[in-house]
Structure 1
Amino acid sequence: MIQLVIVTVLLLVLFFGIGFILNMLMKTTWFPIYGYFAVVIVFVVYWGNAGSLTDNLTEYSYADYIPAIGGLIGAILSGSAIKALRTRGFKMF
């Protein structure tokens, strides 16, 4: 259980950091969320061992979904942080 909490926090921080840097460099707001969905859909769902999409999704347990949700929350927080900074007048690059 403690490992699940640690990996969830690590993925949240990792996706927040990467998303924040990508948002600054590419001058977009929600690009990391699109990238996150592309990685999850392509690498996890379609390259699974089972044949169909529903078989691949039911193959995973809650221990697989919770860290993925933590990473998605980190990507969303990075976009909202950049958006809040831009509305307050900060300019990145």
Structure 2
Amino acid sequence: MSLLQFAVSIVLFAVLGFGIGFIINMVLRTTWLPVVITVGVIVGALIYKQIIPGVVDSIILACGMIGTVVSGWTIQTLRKKGYRMF
């Protein structure tokens, strides 16, 4: 994997994790459910495939996880500031 692909993958997974987490938070009105789902999917996929991800794969998955956590934090902050739709 080239350095450009790695950089784009990091940004893509972070934005994708944030977007999906934000939508799940808005629809289901939960704060940390997307984080639990993300961890479950990652661990389940690793157990099912019985593989150990490399360093690059781990960094990319961690960035997706960070995006999901940031979406939960954002929803929580918006709720505290009085936005009822969240």
Per the normalisation by structure 2, the TM-score is: 0.91
Shift of 1:48: 2.0
Aligned counterpart, 2:6? 4
Unaligned runs of 5+ in 2: none
Residue 80 in 1 paired to residue 82 in 2? no
Q: Say which SS state the counterpart of residue 92 (structure 1) adopts.
A: coil
Aligned counterpart, 2:63? 70
RMSD, aligned α-carbons: 1.2
Q: Say which SS state the counterpart of residue 18 (structure 2) adopts.
A: helix
Residue 92 in 1 paired to residue 85 in 2? yes
Q: Say which SS state the counterpart of residue 79 (structure 1) adopts.
A: helix
Equivalent residue letter for 1:71: G
* Identical residues among aligned pairs (%): 37
State the alpha-carbon separation in 1 of the partners of residues 58 and 15 from structure 2.
17
Unaligned runs of 5+ in 1: 50-55
Q: Say which SS state the counterpart of residue 16 (structure 1) adopts.
A: helix
Larger radius of gyration: 1
Equivalent residue letter for 1:13: V
Equivalent residue letter for 2:85: M
State the alpha-carbon separation in 2 of the partners of residues 31 and 2 from structure 1.
32
- Between Structure 1 and Structure 2, how many residues are aligned? 84
Aligned counterpart, 2:30? 28
State the alpha-carbon separation in 2 of the partners of residues 48 and 24 from structure 1.
32
Q: Say which SS state the counterpart of residue 91 (structure 1) adopts.
A: coil
1:28-54 alpha-carbon deviations (Å, 9 max, x no partner): 0001100101110111x11224xxxxx
Aligned counterpart, 1:47? 48
State the alpha-carbon separation in 1 of the partners of residues 30 and 6 from structure 2.
31
